[in-house]
């Protein structure tokens, strides 16, 4: 699948500009057993970002799982959490995080900084990076210019097609300066854009 950075019209809308690479591929594989779902992503995070606000993390990777109440989640992935009044948008309230107007997301995030804690959180009327129910764990490594990140979360149930979206902050990016996927499904003993292998 491809991750995209939405190009804004001009400097008035996006004073910092956009990354040099607007779209790049990410390999996604999945497997599951009786207890857990495993999701592995492999990618080369491009340089040339428009923002380098996160000095500690070269890369951050998030996976988000919307529930059925999030409008158009099957098409837009985690775009539904992005709003013009969210924290890092130009002229917005610097305390307002990403949120959804309806429904909720479970999220997990890995950070490349040594010793960084894996986020296991939610997005509802506000974003919380902890207190989630996924039981999230993650491991990441870099070989040459290629990152491999593997997440573990509780098995959501065999026979399901689970909607998900990806977000990657590359080149020390922070806030809104990340590439995101559209909506996809992950099949556990069911059809999906990504079919998980039963272990």
Q: Report pLDDT digits (tens) over 38-85.
A: 999 999 999 998 889 999 999 999 999 999 999 988 888 888 898 888
pLDDT at 144 over 80: yes
Question: Which has the closest alpha carbon to 150: 93, 183, 106, 108?
Answer: 108
- The chain-wide mean pLDDT, for the chain, equals 91
Give the rounded distance of the alpha carbon of 88 from its chain centre: 17
Question: Which has the closest alpha carbon to 48: 17, 79, 78?
Answer: 17
CATH architecture, domain defined by 2-187:
Sandwich (2.60)
- Number of residues written out for the chain: 199
Give the rounded distance of the alpha carbon of 91 from its chain centre: 24
pTM here is 0.92
- Domain map (residue ranges) of the chain: 2-187
pLDDT at residue 125 in the model:
95
């Amino acid at each position: 699948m491809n991750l995209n950075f939405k190009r804004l019209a001009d400097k008035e809308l996006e004073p910092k500009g956009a990354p040099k690479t607007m779209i790049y591929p990410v390999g996604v594989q999945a497997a599951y057993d009786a207890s857990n779902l495993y999701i592995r992503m492999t990618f080369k995070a491009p340089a040339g970002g428009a923002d380098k606000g996160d000095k500690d993390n070269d890369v951050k990777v998030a996976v988000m799982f919307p529930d059925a109440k999030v409008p158009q989640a099957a098409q837009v992935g985690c775009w539904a959490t992005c709003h013009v009044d969210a924290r890092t948008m130009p002229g917005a309230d610097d305390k307002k995080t990403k949120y959804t107007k309806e429904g909720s997301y479970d999220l997990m995030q890995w950070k490349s900084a040594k010793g960084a804690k894996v986020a296991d959180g939610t997005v509802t009327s506000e974003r919380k990076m902890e207190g989630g129910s996924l039981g999230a764990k993650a491991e990441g490594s870099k070989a040459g210019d290629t990152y491999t990140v593997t997440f573990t979360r509780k098995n959501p149930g065999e026979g399901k097609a689970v909607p998900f979206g990806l977000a990657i902050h590359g080149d020390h990016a922070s806030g809104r300066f990340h590439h995101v996927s559209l909506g996809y499904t992950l099949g556990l003993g069911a059809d999906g854009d990504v079919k998980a292998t039963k272990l």
